[in-house]
Structure 1
Amino acid sequence: MAVQTADELTKKKCKPCEGGVEPFDLGEARAQLEKLPGWRLTHDNHRIRKDWVAKDFMAALRFFEECAIVAEKDGHHPDLHIEGYRNVSVELWTHAIGGLSENDFILAAKIDRLPIDLK
């Protein structure tokens, strides 16, 4: 798959995935992450994650609400983590294939466009 800019990714919609699709290999994932600043590989390169520090607990929850709206529209749902009342993280992978698909990068690009009241 060709590397896409964040703008190109945000114009796409996640496609339903029930398996049968090869996950991105490490080279493809790394190349695509170069277009998504702040996102990094985790879990033996099978997931991507980004961290933020929100202004306060309520700002963190508002950000998660925005994430949930975008995720629900695309039918692709991230893991949302909050620690220490304002440290937020979003983790993405395609469960059906146990690795990364284009959907993960599409949603990451869309999440990057969401407002978050930072520290």
Structure 2
Amino acid sequence: MAAQTPGELRHKKCLPCEGGVAPYSPDEARDQLQQLDGWRLTHDGQRIRKDWTVKNFMAGMRFFNECARVAEEDGHHPDLHIEGYRNVSVELWTHAIGGLSENDFILAAKISELPIEVK
């Protein structure tokens, strides 16, 4: 599977996944992540995550509201984390397959384009 640019990914829509598809291999995931600035593999290559430091707690909450809007439009939902009131993280994986699917990279590309108030 060839890595896609962020622009290619953003123009796609997440497809429902009820399982039955193979997750990305670690090499495929690493190749795709080279196209997505700041995202990294976690959980032994089964998830991707990006971290930001925002201006303040409310900036983090506004960012999470935008993440939720985009995620709901695509029907693919990330884990959202806020720690220390300014450190926000988004983590993605496809629960139905226990690993990464194209949907995770599509949503990562869309989230990367959201406005965020950094410190």
TM over 0.5: yes
Deviation for aligned residue 1:25: 0.1
SS across alignment from 2:67: helix
The aligned amino acid for 1:10 is R
> Separation in 2 of the partners of 1:5 and 1:25?
18
SS across alignment from 1:77: coil
The aligned amino acid for 1:79 is D
- Matched with 2:12 is 12
SS across alignment from 1:23: coil
The aligned amino acid for 1:33 is L
Deviations 1:42-77 (A, max 9, x none): 001100000000000000000000000000000000
Q: Does 1:50 align with 2:50?
A: yes
- Matched with 2:94 is 94
For 1:73-84, what aligned pairs fall within 5 Å after superposition?
73-84=73-84
- Root mean square deviation of aligned Cα: 0.3
- Matched with 1:37 is 37
> Separation in 1 of the partners of 2:3 and 2:42?
20
> Separation in 1 of the partners of 2:30 and 2:2?
12
Instruction: Give 5+ residue unaligned stretches, structure 2.
Output: none
Deviation for aligned residue 1:90: 0.1
- Matched with 2:106 is 106
> Separation in 2 of the partners of 1:86 and 1:72?
24
Instruction: Give 5+ residue unaligned stretches, structure 1.
Output: none
Deviations 1:64-108 (A, max 9, x none): 000000000000000000000010000000000000000000000
Deviation for aligned residue 1:2: 1.5
> Separation in 2 of the partners of 1:98 and 1:32?
18
> Separation in 2 of the partners of 1:6 and 1:86?
26
Task: Give structure 1 regions of 4+ aligned residues with deviation exceeding 2 angstroms.
Answer: none
Count of matched residue positions in the alignment of Structure 1 and Structure 2: 119
- Matched with 1:69 is 69
For normalisation by structure 1, the TM-score amounts to 0.99
